[in-house]
Each structure stands twice: as structure tokens, then as C-alpha cells.
Amino acid sequence: MGAAGERIGVTGHRDLADPLRVRSAVDDVLDRLEPPLTAVSSLAEGADRLVARAVLDRPGGRLIALLPLPPEDYVRDFAEAGSVEEFNDLLAAADEVEVISPRLDDDPSREAAYERAGLAVLEHCDRLLALWDGAPARGRGGTADLVGSARSCGRPVEVVSVERAR
């Protein structure tokens, strides 16, 4: 990897119970990796953005945003107050932005769009950082699903154990 550093794919939950503790644990993981680091993220609320910020806060940190939907459609899925502004700030800070476009024969559902974006993150990273509660998958394209895909293809996976806000 040398001067290029590592590309860190991000997956995780949107509803983190203790973001400050999680950020500290993420920083501990990032400290062990070879800089400069690049976050590869779909910029969903929660885990994706927390890791993107943690990487951007480091010297030479970069961000590649692989979005499941065009930004104007994607923001409709954001629930948190201030989320659209945070998303736009990170989008502006990204070194590369790509919307993962479905092929004509692909499933056009939102769930499928999120699944495709997760797989694109996996394809573009050297290792996957999962902020995960360890629970089994609840549907396609979620954290557990992507961790399983990463392990199946031999991609290194770092798991930061999290609790979800209920």
C-alpha cells in the first residue's frame, strides 16, 4: 500500500447509542492502519458519517462517497435534524463522488439501491470497518449482510461493537 495508504470501507448502523464512545473506538482502529487513509462510504446517517469524519480529521485523510441514489433522492431517507446539512458538508469534502446507478435489469427498489452501494463500497476498499451490534441481517444490504460478503471474499474486516439507540 505504501504512499497510497489504506482505503477503509464503512458499514454500520444509523442509530448509534453512544457516538462519542464509538468515535473513540474508531480512532483506536484507525491508529493501527497505514496512513494516509481514505474512507469509502455511502454517507448514510450514523456509522458512515462518523467514520468519514474520523478519517477526514486525520492528516491526509480523504473521502470517496459512493451514493445509493442521487443526492436529491437520498436526502429523503434522512431522519435526524441537521442531517441534510451534515450530508452536504461531507459531500463537499469528498475527493470523489459517484452515484451507483442501477442497470436496467436491476431491482429498482431503495433496498436494492442500498445493497448495490454497499457492494460498491466493498469493491473499492482494502478493508471493511463495521460499526455493528452483531445482530443477524434484517434485510438485504445491511451491516450484517455486508460483513458476511466481505468475509466471504476474504476482505479484512474490523468490527467496532456498538449498541443501537432504541
Task: Give the pLDDT of residue 1.
Answer: 42
Contacts of 25 (CB under 8 A, 6+ apart): 160, 161
pTM given for the model: 0.91
Task: Give the pLDDT of residue 102.
Answer: 64
> Terminal CA-to-CA distance of the chain, rounded, Å?
40
Compute the chain's Rg from CA coordinates.
Answer: 15
Q: How far is Cα 39 from Cα 98, in angstroms, rounded to an integer?
A: 14
Q: How far is Cα 95 from Cα 73, in angstroms, rounded to an integer?
A: 21
- pLDDT of 31-45, one tens digit each? 999 999 999 999 999
Mean pLDDT of 64-89: 93
Domains of the chain by start residue, with CATH:
1-107 (3.40.50.450)
Question: Are the C-beta atoms of residues 70 and 77 closer than 8 Å to each other?
Answer: no
- pLDDT of 96-120, one tens digit each? 999 997 655 566 788 888 899 999 9
Beta strands in the chain (DSSP E): 6-12, 37-41, 62-67, 96-99, 127-132, 157-161
